Amino acid sequence: MAQVAIERHRLENGLRVILAPDRQAPIVAINLWYDVGSKHEKPSKTGFAHLFEHMMFQGSEHVAKGEHFSLIQAAGGTLNASTWFDRTNYFETLPSHELELALWLESDRMAHLLPAMDQEKLDNQREVVKNERRWSVDNQPYGTWDEKLGELLYPPSHPYHHPTIGSMEDLSAASLDDVRDFFATYYAPNNAVLTIAGDLEPAAALAAAERHFGPIRANADLPDPPDVRLDPRLGSEKREIVPDRVPLPRIYAGFRVPPFGSEGFESIEVAADLLASGRASRLYRVLVRETRLAQDVTVSALPFVGGAAMLVLWVTASPGVATDVLEGALFAEIDRLSADGPGDEELERVRNLHGAAVEASLERVGERADRLSMYACLFDRPELVNSEVERYRAVDAARVRDTLRAYVGADNRVVLTYVPAEGAEVGAEADAAAGTQAAAEERPEPEVGA
């Protein structure tokens, strides 16, 4: 794999600046990660990190409401943001001669959002987030799955227990002072990573970053990180049957596994691909193609960095298939991989798929910047981007087998079985949802590195 050129810098106010020059195309990506996500929220104040993802586009002292979008798009660029348990990020990709525009916009809202924040904007965006929750969770077939898994896998005191979108009650109760305090605490240069990647001259890019972000004061009173310590084994099985407005039964299973960044998590990622990546994967071949017990199957490792990450899988039953039959076949195939380990050919298959996916993603300057920000923000090691493929390929059959035996068993899982509620009508939206993998739903996103 071609190595990403990386320069690391730190401004006097603590902002980490990562530069990754690549002059192949006249575009540049600006990617800003803040070390704040839903795990930093306090009890009864959930959803603040995600709410701020919305508030950050409502204008700052020198930028009118909606102008951030219009200026970037008028310059021929794209932009967006996302929230996760461990971080919030904001990003733009645009022609390289417009680098100063993106840096000015990002620095203005870091330094000058509070003067432009008012009750009308808070009320407006609170309702937007509530509607997002109604659409993606409350009124979505199978929409509560990740909340329920989180609540059962992590104790109430743990920062991963509650979802990033928050609860309706907490969103309704959020005051203007609450959200101002949250911003003032976490949206500071010494709690952020700025990555600039693409068509840039490093000295000029660093000077531009210093010019726009250097005057912003650090927060000398950053709170200590939340306590995320947790035994990565549940110690028992938990089950729940969920009657819902769904067209077909679906089984979800979640397991505590070693955290993102560990060798154990890398082994879990390989196991997940062996089980459900592509039509040649074990679960797809057995459950969908051969026995036709299932319409779809998905396995994903969710990259939580503290205490314990989550391995989640779901499988939608074919019409007329009993859930106990489907579940038996599902766990039997996982147990078979755990007992015997993978063969050389299937290991090479997923290694090649993973390597190709990483190479393709790093060809996109925006994705390259995002991964650099991720490794810098979460581990202070942006150079890890250059060893992704090597670390994955280092996972051999014994590591897959041993990690599955240690973490993916009946004593460390939560099983949710969604069944059609008696008398419930299911509309076209639900019918469409049943025929797709739930990855199409808007949550969670491990858009980065996972």
Q: Cα separations (Å) of 234 from 144, 307, 411?
A: 21, 12, 7
Give buried/exposed letters for 426-437 (b at 16+ CB in 10 A, else e).
beeebeebbeeb
Q: How many CB atoms lie within 10 A of CB 401?
A: 18
pLDDT (tens digit per residue) in 6-55 = 999 999 999 999 999 999 999 999 999 999 999 999 999 999 999 989 99
pLDDT (tens digit per residue) in 417-438 = 999 998 765 543 444 444 433 3
17, two tokens: 């600046």
Q: How many CB atoms lie within 10 A of CB 252?
A: 22
pLDDT (tens digit per residue) in 151-191 = 999 999 999 999 999 999 999 999 999 989 999 999 999 99
CA angle 365, 369, 374 (to 5 degrees): 150
Phi, psi dihedral angles at 92 (to 5 degrees): -135, 145
How far is Cα 46 from Cα 159, in angstroms, rounded to an integer? Answer: 10
Rg (C-alpha) for the chain, rounded Å, is 22
Q: What percent of the chain has pLDDT over 90?
A: 92
CB 133, CB 205: distance < 8 Å: no
Q: How many CB atoms lie within 10 A of CB 179?
A: 21
**How sure is the predictor about 450, in pLDDT bands with cuts at 50, 70 and 90?**
very low
* 237-244 and 413-420 beta bridge pairing: parallel
Share of the chain residues as helix, strand and coil, in percent rounded to the nearest 5: 45, 20, 35
Residue 360 is given by DSSP the state H
Look at residue 436 in the predicted model and tell me its pLDDT.
38
What is the mean pLDDT of the segment spanning 315-329? Answer: 98
- How crowded is the C-beta side of 448, counted as CA atoms within 13 Å? 30
420, two tokens: 């059609």
Angle between helices 99-112 and 67-74 (to 10 degrees): 170
146, two tokens: 């990740």
Average pLDDT, the chain: 93
CATH superfamily of 237-440: Metalloenzyme, LuxS/M16 peptidase-like (3.30.830.10)
Count of residues making up the chain: 450
Q: Where in the chain is the domain with CATH 3.30.830.10?
A: 7-213, 237-440
More confident position, 307 or 441 = 307
Look at residue 426 in the predicted model and tell me its pLDDT.
54
pLDDT (tens digit per residue) in 366-414 = 999 999 999 999 999 999 999 999 999 999 999 999 999 999 999 999 9
pTM for this entry: 0.93
Residues 6+ apart with CB under 8 A from 199: 21, 22, 23, 24, 25, 26, 27, 28, 96
Look at residue 422 in the predicted model and tell me its pLDDT.
85
What is 7-213's CATH topology? Cytochrome Bc1 Complex; Chain A, domain 1 (3.30.830)
Q: Cα separations (Å) of 267 from 29, 79, 205, 361, 430?
A: 31, 33, 38, 21, 34
